[in-house]
Structure 1
Amino acid sequence: MLLLLLLQISLSCLWLGHGEVVTSFESSCPQFFFRETPPNEALEPESPAWICQRYKNQYFFATLYDRSRRIPVYSAYLYQPGSGTRPKTWLVEPQLMGLSYPKTMEREWTLSKYYNVSSEQIGKSQAVLQDYKNLTGLNRGHLNPSGHHSDSSSRTATFSLTNIVPQDEKLNGGAWNNYEQQTMMRRTVGCNTTYVVVGAVPGNNYIAKGRVNKPSHIWSSACCEVDKNHREAWGVIAENDKNEVQLLKLGELEEVLTHLYGRGEVYLFDSDCPRE
């Protein structure tokens, strides 16, 4: 027991980040949602996990994760772009194996070495790096992109596989990248705070021998606070096999998602965010 305690203390110096599995976003990390209101239940999968993504004892974004399909449903964050290098370390979420594991995003090899956890155990309820090996025409697509964050800590936090989906290679490097880097910059001029919810619609195809779902669509939505009395909003959606992005009003995107998910009307933001 003493040896285990000392090992855990020493590991606290090595941990890269923190990702806490919680019971709701309203009570744990509501700051990433406009008026502290997450999307409604119409997006929730059958096996959901609510993750407050944390690094160096600070929350950076929130992710609703689909344990069975091993992809995020959506990630929510504040748009705060800045210059910086792209991280290279990929992380997983130990608490998806059980709440007895550390509240940390961690590298697979660290879990294997210090906690005697196998890749098979990690992969039961989430994607692992092996799932994204040898892809053809697809790559690891961020929902919450590192380039929308201002420093190394916030950028590193986005490199969790719980924030990744199999995305069409041309789309990810083409029209979707143009939206993330160019359209977002233009649309947010004059915004004091911009709340973003970006997600993926589950598809009928899988990678990694049926382990990880390939989304049929990738979508993103934004609610911009210009001042206390003025707000702007928009959304985009793309089929995950075409290099095209459709720019929509927020209300239009919610209507499209209502049809695609088929679980009732979708509401991405609090009603004070304009739909027209």
Structure 2
Amino acid sequence: MLLLLLLQVSASCLWLGRSEVVTSFESSCPQFFFRKTPPNEALEPESPAWICQRYNNQYYFATLYDRNRRIPVYSAYLYQPGPGKRPKTWLVEPQLMNSIYPKTMEREWTLLNHFNVSLEQLSKSQAILQDYKNLTGLNRGHLNPSSHHSDSNSRTATFTLTNIVPQDEKLNGGAWNNYEQQTMIRSTKGCNTTYVIVGAVPGNNYIAKGRVNKPSHIWSSACCEVDTNHRKAWAVIAENDKNKVQLLTLGELEDVLTHLYGRDQVSLFDSSCPRE
């Protein structure tokens, strides 16, 4: 058993850089947030995990994960769309189990066959592929969509189960898809850098025999740097049982989320990003 543990530690040390499950975004992967400022604590769940999403030894985005509900609270990334194929391989986060495991996302098969991990052990820490099988009226809804990235590795990195929620299939393929593919293109015209945070409000229903929460709402927000002195922002929210997206100002979304979460005032971006 000691030899196995040493082998696992040795394997994990092959991955250079900081751990993927980290203590804070500010100290590990702040580059995905406008002015290196993540959302405030008003969105944090009871059992949070801060994940700098690593694939092939590089960080591609950041996710605050809700360990209890087994869904992401939000994913933050830079909007850099480009042509490319939609990936097919689904990945999981080894370090949600323990820091001795690899710092990069892996396939379930790899963990089960090369790291002597049981499916039960993996399923205690996060959602697994089985949780999303045989869904009715729902599908795997990305928070950070692969189409908002420009190369194969960055697109593949979005295909981790820590970046998806059970989303209404009509919404995911309809109004939400229109926002991701059309509204974002129009809204980002003139932007040099666009910082995006997409999240999910926990709901009262679950899939997979109570294992994975079905969010009540899906939301998205963006802060765009036009130049050194000019910025613009926008946001949307959708109920997760209707094929409709509501366009809001950043300030309006923060107020809506403050009401839905029922905690402190929500702040998604640095204060220099316009709320009106």
Compared CA separation, residues 10 and 30, structure 1 to 2 (3 A): closer
- Residues 71 and 7 of structure 1, relative CA distance in 2, 3 Å threshold: closer
For residue 3 of structure 1, report the CA deviation from its aligned partner: 8.6
After TM superposition, give the deviation of residue 109 of structure 1 in Å.
Answer: 1.0
Q: What amino acid is aligned across from residue 112 of structure 1 in structure 2? A: L
- Structure 2 Cα separation of the partners of residues 231 and 182 of structure 1: 20
- Specify the alignment match of 1:110 in structure 2: 110
Match of 1:101 in 2: 101
What TM-score comes out, normalization by structure 2 length?
0.95
Match of 2:124, SS?
Answer: coil
Letter in 1 for 2:124: K
Following the alignment from structure 1 to structure 2, what is the Cα–Cα distance between the partners of residues 4 and 199?
36
Q: Assess, with a 3 A threshold, how the Cα gap between structure 1 residues 209 and 190 changes in structure 2: closer, same or farther.
A: same
- Give structure 1 stretches of 5+ with no counterpart: none
Q: Classify 1:174/1:8 alpha carbon distance in 2 versus 1 (closer, same or farther; 3 Å).
A: same
In structure 1, C-alpha distance between the alignment counterparts of 2:65 and 2:127, rounded to whole Å: 11
User: Could you tell me how far 1:214 is from its partner in structure 2?
Assistant: 0.1
- Report the residue type matching 1:237 in the other structure: I
Q: Give the Cα separation in 2 of the matches to 1:48 and 1:143.
A: 17
The CA RMSD measured in Å over matched residues stands at: 1.9
Using the TM superposition, give the Cα deviation of residue 10 of structure 1 relative to its aligned residue in structure 2, in angstroms: 8.1
Aligned to 1:220: 220
Deviation, structure 1 residue 11? 9.2
How many Å separate the matches in 2 of 1:223 and 1:23? 25
Instruction: Supply the AA of the counterpart residue of 1:156.
Output: T
CA distance in 2, matches of 1:164, 1:232: 27
Partner residue, 2:131 = 131
Assess, with a 3 A threshold, how the Cα gap between structure 1 residues 4 and 65 changes in structure 2: closer, same or farther: closer
1:251 alignment partner in structure 2: 251
The 1:7/1:126 distance shift into structure 2, 3 A limit, reads closer
Secondary structure class of the residue paired with 1:171: helix
Matched ranges for 1:1-276 at <5 A: 20-276=20-276
Q: Given residue 210 of structure 1, which amino acid in structure 2 is its aligned partner? A: G
Question: Where in structure 1 do 4 or more consecutive aligned residues deviate above 3 Å?
Answer: 1-13
How far, CA to CA, are the matches of 2:110 and 2:10 in structure 1? 14
Cα gap change, 1:187 to 1:97, in 2 (>3 Å): same
Cα deviations across residues 134-157 of structure 1 (Å, max 9, x unaligned)? Answer: 000000000000000000000000
| Bigger mean CA offset, 117-126 vs 227-236 | 117-126
Aligned partner of residue 63 in structure 1, secondary structure? strand
Rounded Cα–Cα distance in structure 2 between residues aligned with 1:275 and 1:155: 30
| Structure 1: distance between partners of 2:109 and 2:71 | 21
Alpha-carbon separation, structure 2, partners of 1:7 and 1:28? 23
- Distance between the aligned counterparts of 1:178 and 1:2, measured in 2? 52
Residue 116 and residue 181 in structure 1: after superposition, are their counterparts in 2 closer, same or farther (change >3 A)?
A: same
Q: CA deviation at 1:263?
A: 1.3
Shift of 1:58: 1.4
| Greater mean deviation of Cα atoms: 103-112 or 163-172 | 103-112
Aligned-partner Cα distance in 2 for 1:19–1:185: 34
Q: 8 Å contact 1:19–1:93 — kept in the other structure?
A: no
Q: CA deviation at 1:115?
A: 1.3
CA contact (8 A) 2:12 2:101 kept: no
Letter in 1 for 2:96: L
Distance 2:149 2:99 in 1: 28
The separation in 2 between residues aligned to 1:43 and 1:2, in whole angstroms, is 41
For structure 2, the residue ranges without an aligned partner over 5 or more in a row are none
Partner letter of residue 185 of structure 2?
M
* Superposed displacement of residue 266, structure 1: 0.2
Percentage identity across aligned positions?
84
User: Number of paired residues?
Assistant: 273
SS of residue in 2 equivalent to 1:123? helix
